[in-house]
Amino acid sequence: MKAYLRVRCNKEYLATIREFVKARLQDLQVPGKVGHQIVLAVDEACANCMIHQHQCDNFSTIEIAIYKENETLYTEIKDTGQAFPIHEYTPQKVKEIVKKRAKGGLGINLIHRIMDEINVEQKRDYFIYKLGKHVGSPAKP
Amino acid sequence: MEIKETTQANFVTLSPQGDLDAHSSVALDEKISELLSQKQHFIHIDCSGIPYMSSAGLGVFISYLDEIGASGGKLVLSGLQENVLEVFGLLGLNQLVTIVGDGASVASEFQGV
């Protein structure tokens, strides 16, 4: 079963998204360390949408869905407009970012390091970032 | 985000409290920028009050690394919680930023400056 959350594109709601993801991961018995990494990757993807797609416009929204299929945990972020092709993006080297004194560029790097599957589905007037992480089966009691 | 500032003999300690994400990191960014504009280039960040850090928080630190290094200063982080330390490790930033465990180690990092 999918769990959904819709939030305004205001960075204040990133904390709400993290709490939603954490609670859902707990329900799905995803272990702590992997769970923290998934929370981080989803936070990064949502922050990217809010900042770069919507310039933090409080009247725009994004929708987050979480579910598990077989042994993979999927997060879908549904957003309007044209998708940034995060699945094709080659992350910058961290040393280059330091040299440029840049504040950005690390988020997509983290998403690529954490998630096992990164896909973008472009529809007519919206797109979906689909992030998958192999989490295995919950431990038997 | 609440950020406590403590001035020591030869460095300044900033102690942010709460999650450091794309929303809250702006306050820390402004605080470090303010210190640098006051020619304070020896900065210690006590991270023990930060339970979560996203790339926006990391970005604040690394964006000033080059500037602080070029001015002969030093940026030292301490008290990183396990989850936060893991994020530094994922990107290899633990090799670029000075990270120490406790207060005594912090003082020794700034000794003789």
Average pLDDT score over residue span B25-31 = 96
Q: Which residues of B27-62 are buried (b: 16+ CB within 10 A; e: fewer)?
A: ebbebbeebbeeeebbbbbbbebbebbbbbbbbbbb
Whether the CB-CB separation of A47 and A14 falls below 8 Å is answered with yes
Q: Would you place residue A139 in the very low, low, confident or very high pLDDT band (cuts 50, 70, 90)?
A: low
Q: Would you place residue B102 in the very low, low, confident or very high pLDDT band (cuts 50, 70, 90)?
A: confident
CB within 8 Å: A36 and B83? yes
**Residue B44 above 90 pLDDT?**
yes
Element (H, E) at A75: strand A72-80
Residue A103: its chain B contacts at CB < 8 A? 29, 56, 59-60, 63
Global pTM exceeds 0.95: no
The phi and psi torsions of A107 (rounded to 5 degrees) equal -65, -50
pLDDT (0 to 100) of residue A99: 79
Nearest residue of chain A to residue B62 (CA atoms): A98
In angstroms, the CA A113 to CA A104 distance is 16
Nearest residue, CB atoms, A47 vs list B56, B65, B87: B56
Residue B60: its chain A contacts at CB < 8 A? 103
DSSP label at A100? H
Residue A36: its chain B contacts at CB < 8 A? 83, 86
**Residue A138 above 70 pLDDT?**
no
In angstroms, the CA A92 to CA A95 distance is 9
Q: What pLDDT digit, counting tens, does each position of B66-83 carry?
A: 899 999 999 999 999 999
Q: What pLDDT digit, counting tens, does each position of A81-132 carry?
A: 778 888 888 878 888 887 788 777 799 999 999 999 999 998 888 999 999 9
In angstroms, the CA A59 to CA A121 distance is 23
Residue B67: its chain A contacts at CB < 8 A? 101
In angstroms, the CA B93 to CA B89 distance is 6
In angstroms, the CA A62 to CA A15 distance is 14
In angstroms, the CA A102 to CA A96 distance is 9
Looking at this predicted complex, what is its ipTM?
A: 0.90
**Residue A141 above 60 pLDDT?**
no
pLDDT (0 to 100) of residue A13: 97
Nearest residue of chain B to residue A18 (CA atoms): B52
